[in-house]
Chains A and B, each alone.
Chain A
Amino acid sequence: MGFKSYIKNIKETLDSTFEGMGITLSNLAKRPVTFDYHSYGDPKRMQKSLEKAGLKNYIETISEGYRGILEVDIDTCTGCGLCERACPIDVITIEKGKNEDKRIVVERFAIDNARCMFCGLCSIPCPTNSIMHTKEFEASNYYIENLLFEWADSDGYIAYNAKKDGERERAELGSKIKDKLIEATIIPDEFYPKKVKAPKPEKVKLKAPPTVFGNRKTRKPVEEEVVEEPVKKVVEEAIKEEKKENIKKEVNKPSDISTDNTDGDKKKEKEVAEEKATENKDNNPKE
């Protein structure tokens, strides 16, 4: 380290430190950009800090078209179910029936706000803007069941049909959600749901995807060797040994979940193997 760089280091350190101190000092004379948010604790205080920031209420800080909690105006719902189909995580449940006049009745329109991810895909296809996002965003409470918002009455609601009912306008956005949010704070009768068994996975027959271009020169059939995975093998061997021991000890134990699983896998593998065999037969002669 030369003498020049020695002095330079000291100089630059002091210089940049003074610059930084100047910046932090100048920020003391600027107004903070944040303001208090106390919607739950101290409404008066909240009002004060909002006034300082030149606002009437915190909703004003949220822009138009904000994607908050979903609101459904059931008066203008046509029961088409587009929103239900658009939802990637099946948050919306719609049940429909028909009454004596052969009109569609929306028996149930439920939105599970506990799982909703506010992506906005449901409100886009809606033909009458019945389902829309409000500016409300605070729905947290102590009981997750309360976040299931039922929008149709239990008797059902005759779906809106512009031809038969005449033109209807959608109720003002955000006018209905507030009651629902207040309802959600009520303590339910039972709030520890019992455990439910796992849903049985649906059996889906797997089909191989089509090949892209048939310009394959020589197609060697992919050899089929039945070699099981070492991990599974280890597990199965362990289970076998356990069973042997159990037999030795003559103790009856309920079979493990893992054994069930492997059994299921075996069955599935057989099915898959059969399918492959048939498909290979189909494919190969062409080449």
Chain B
Amino acid sequence: MESIANSLIQSWGITSSTGAQLVSLLVMFGFASVVLLAFFLPFAGITSWLERRIAGRMQSRVGPNINGPQGFLQWIADGVKAMEKEDLMPDDADAPLFKMAPYFVFMGVGATLVAIPFSEYLVLSDLNVGIFYIISVTSFVTVGILLAGWSSNNKWSLIGGVRSASQMISYEIPTALSILTVVLLSGSLSMQDIVKAQGFWPWEWHISNNPFMIIMFFIFFISSLAEGSRTPFDLPEAESELVSGFNTEYSGIRFALFFLAEWGNLFVIGAMTTTLFLGGWQAPLALKGSMWLTPVQFMIFMTKMSVVVFIIIQLRWTLPRVRVDQLMIICWHYFVPLSLLSILAVTIWMAVSHGNSTIELVMSIFSTAIWLYFVLLVLYRAVRNFKRTDAKLNLNFLE
């Protein structure tokens, strides 16, 4: 990106420093809007369609299938409808805050895109504090939701907002602690370096470094669900308890922004999990080191991320939501002590195994086997349930 800005400055013959800064700012802005419009919005939209189709299939129904082939354009129809709607605001609402809140939420999610490495070369800005930047930027979401809850002048919204604040403040601790182990293992805060510290094969990923990393993976995954307020932690907008939580009073495009942010968050959670634990864009040795291999690495990254997103969606349609006190108990009684314990264990393991690559490899394969066991367990139970209910196999997903 800097190179593009530099070349533009040279070709336009700008010499003053303020001018150069302006141009680079413009380039930044242009790039950001392109990424948002061309990647983020479609991704969030398509995910919303996919989620509804998957949910439908899981619940023995069809799901949206009318607009476009297989209902693929449903998200555009929803977006257009939301834009056409009147942007209502309650009489006694705090107008500036009320209008501002969705942008905070959207910004908090959108800004994380900057530091996420899609491939070896495809990263907007490889910040040396990348992971730190992402943690801090996602806090904007909390601010936005709290503002939305407060400014709506609605008691249900307020409860939703306050719930959200307490939830996200609590769950940032286990998230940060679990990220800390990854930082320990890779020795860097930069996202690119974290990916480079891993390899293509599953036993080279951070998750299978040692068994405690599996615990850290679970803790990171679940607490990032809580931070993104996905079921079973969707308390801020628990639709059966708080009507619709913080976004009760929103309508039209502002509501759509909340919605987009929710599904954009899915992407962020998936990308973070992939990058930190599942090897990121890492390809086999032969497919690295060249600009031209970007699509391959990008596809690898997107595949891993899609699996994570699918699991998140599946969890949403499987589990009931937890209660407020249970939410706190899960965080403070289980995640925080476990993650502290795991950090200790990981550091001890690092000290013990330092430089001994055979022990490391054996341990890696052992812990790969452990998490593979969990994956196979779920698959086995799926097959078992299939047999128990006497169902007929039908893999035609395009009904």
Contact among B60, B62, B319, B381 for A27, CB-based, below 8 A: B60
Write the nearest CB–CB distance from B70 to chain A, whole angstroms.
12
Cα distance A254–B380 when bound, in Å?
Answer: 81
A18 at the interface (CB under 8 A from B): yes
Beyond A26-B383, A34-B62, A52-B399, 20 additional pairs, beta carbon < 8 A: A9-B334, A17-B315, A18-B378, A21-B311, A21-B318, A21-B382, A22-B378, A22-B380, A22-B381, A22-B382, A22-B384, A23-B381, A24-B58, A25-B382, A26-B382, A29-B394, A30-B60, A30-B394, A31-B396, A32-B57
Cα distance A24–B317 when bound, in Å?
Answer: 8
Cα distance A25–B378 when bound, in Å?
Answer: 8
Residue of A nearest to B383 (CB): A26
Determine which residue in A17, A25, A36 has the highest number of CB atoms from chain B within 10 A of its CB, and name it: A25
Which interface class (under 10, 10 to 19, 20 to 34, 35 or more) fits B? 35 or more
Whether A32 lies near B399 (C-beta < 8 A) is: yes
Write the nearest CB–CB distance from B34 to chain A, whole angstroms.
35
B286 at the interface (CB under 8 A from A): no
A33 at the interface (CB under 8 A from B): yes
Whether B61 lies near A22 (C-beta < 8 A) is: no
Contact among A1, A9, A20 for B319, CB-based, below 8 A: A20
Cα distance A3–B333 when bound, in Å?
Answer: 12
B54 at the interface (CB under 8 A from A): yes
Q: Which of B111-119, B345-353, B385-393 contacts A (4 or more CB under 8 A)?
A: B385-393
A18-50 CB mask vs B (1 if < 8 Å, else 0) is 111111111111111111100000000000000
Whether A27 lies near B58 (C-beta < 8 A) is: yes
Jot down 30 A-B pairs with beta carbons below 8 A, ordered by A: A1-B333, A17-B315, A17-B319, A18-B374, A18-B378, A18-B381, A20-B319, A22-B381, A22-B382, A23-B382, A24-B317, A24-B318, A25-B379, A25-B382, A26-B382, A26-B383, A26-B386, A26-B389, A26-B391, A27-B57, A27-B58, A27-B60, A29-B393, A30-B386, A31-B396, A32-B57, A32-B60, A32-B62, A32-B399, A52-B399
Whether B314 lies near A18 (C-beta < 8 A) is: no
Contact among A20, A26, A34 for B61, CB-based, below 8 A: A34
Residues of chain B within 8 A (CB-CB) of A27 are 57-60
Write the nearest CB–CB distance from B334 to chain A, whole angstroms.
7
Residues of chain A within 8 A (CB-CB) of B26 are none
Interface residues of B (CB under 8 A from A): 54, 56-62, 65, 311, 314-315, 317-319, 333-334, 374, 377-386, 389, 391-396, 399
Residues of chain B within 8 A (CB-CB) of A1 are 333
Total contacting residues, chain A, CB less than 8 A: 24
Whether A21 lies near B386 (C-beta < 8 A) is: no
Whether A29 lies near B386 (C-beta < 8 A) is: yes
Cα distance A19–B382 when bound, in Å?
Answer: 8
Residues of chain A within 8 A (CB-CB) of B334 are 9-10
Residues of chain A within 8 A (CB-CB) of B54 are 28
Contact among A19, A25, A31, A32 for B56, CB-based, below 8 A: A32
Write the nearest CB–CB distance from B7 to chain A, whole angstroms.
49
Residues of chain B within 8 A (CB-CB) of A26 are 381-383, 385-386, 389, 391
